[in-house]
Every structure is written in structure tokens, then in C-alpha cells.
């Protein structure tokens, strides 16, 4: 009986905590602070490798297929330096020909084709970059990167 009363008391305290208001800290979630695994350059699409370090997507080391895209580098950094990555919508170049992204592709996955200038396609490329958010009148593509 005493065990039952004790368990009921613990449950009552737990419910009181759950039912109470909380001040849960918040962030925009738009930025990540990472360590560069190689020299990285501002404006390049960033990926995190299994070692937790940041590399440019389409980099030779590591093979870009093993990277998880997380945003765009806000500044350049040498290997081992801290670097800030931003997630969100970025304006990228549109591929030409059969891989060109059109308005009907909004919501579809965009894949990297080239890194300078950053170009994306609707057909499977080197790496998934993000989701197509818009195709502008100047044919540039807005891609939500890192979400």
C-alpha cells in the first residue's frame, strides 16, 4: 500500500511539472558553427561528414556522396578553423537542357552539377542540395539548402 501511495505521489509531481509553463530557450536554427575539415570558401555549399567536420559539397575529400548538406559557408576558413554555415533559401544557377529546373519543379529536389558558379539540376547529380522553392524570371533557382 505504501508503495502504491509513493508511486501516486511521484506521478502527481511529474504531472504537475508537465502541466506547468516552461521557458524553453529558442534559436532561429539558421546557423551552425562547425570546424572545417579542409580549406573552405564563402558561398560554397557545406556538408558535414561522418567525422563531424565541414567540407564543401563536390569536394574530392571526402567523396561528396558521404556528406550531409547543412547550408552555405558564410566565410572562408582553413582546415581546423571554425566556420559558420547558414541554412535557408539561396539563389543558384539553373542547369540547361534536360536538367533545367522549371516552375513545375517547385518542391522537387535540386542536385548539384557544378560549384563555380553553383549550378543545380532536377536530374540526379553529384549531391542533393535542397528543395526548389522558386524559379525566377531570370532563370535562377531559389533552393532551400540545409533543411
Domain ranges across the chain:
31-86, 88-145
Place of cell 505504501: 2
Region 112-130: mean pLDDT is 84
Interior CA angle at 32 toward 133 and 29, to 5°? Answer: 60
C-alpha to C-alpha distance for 144 and 147, rounded to whole angstroms: 7
Q: Which candidate, 110, 109, 36, 126, places its Cα nearest to that of 73? A: 36
Q: Are 55 and 61 in contact (CB under 8 A)?
A: yes
Place of cell 560549384: 115
- Convert the pLDDT of each residue in 15-52 to its tens digit: 555 677 878 887 778 999 999 999 999 999 999 998 99
For the question of whether the overall pTM of this predicted structure is more than 0.85, the answer is: no
Amino acid at each position: 500500500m505504501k508503495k502504491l501511495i509513493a508511486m501516486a505521489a511521484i506521478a502527481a509531481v511529474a504531472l504537475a511539472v508537465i502541466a506547468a509553463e516552461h521557458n524553453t530557450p529558442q534559436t532561429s536554427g539558421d546557423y551552425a558553427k562547425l570546424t572545417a575539415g579542409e580549406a573552405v570558401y564563402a558561398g560554397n555549399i557545406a556538408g558535414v561528414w561522418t567525422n563531424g567536420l565541414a567540407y564543401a559539397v563536390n569536394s574530392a575529400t571526402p567523396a561528396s556522396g558521404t556528406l550531409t548538406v547543412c547550408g552555405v559557408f558564410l566565410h572562408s576558413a582553413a582546415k581546423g578553423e571554425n566556420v559558420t554555415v547558414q541554412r535557408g533559401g539561396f539563389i543558384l544557377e539553373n542547369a540547361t537542357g534536360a536538367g533545367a529546373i522549371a516552375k513545375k519543379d517547385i518542391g522537387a529536389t535540386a542536385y548539384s552539377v557544378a560549384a563555380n558558379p553553383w549550378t543545380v539540376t532536377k536530374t540526379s547529380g553529384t549531391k542533393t542540395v535542397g528543395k526548389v522553392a522558386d524559379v525566377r524570371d531570370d532563370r535562377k533557382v531559389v533552393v532551400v539548402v540545409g533543411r
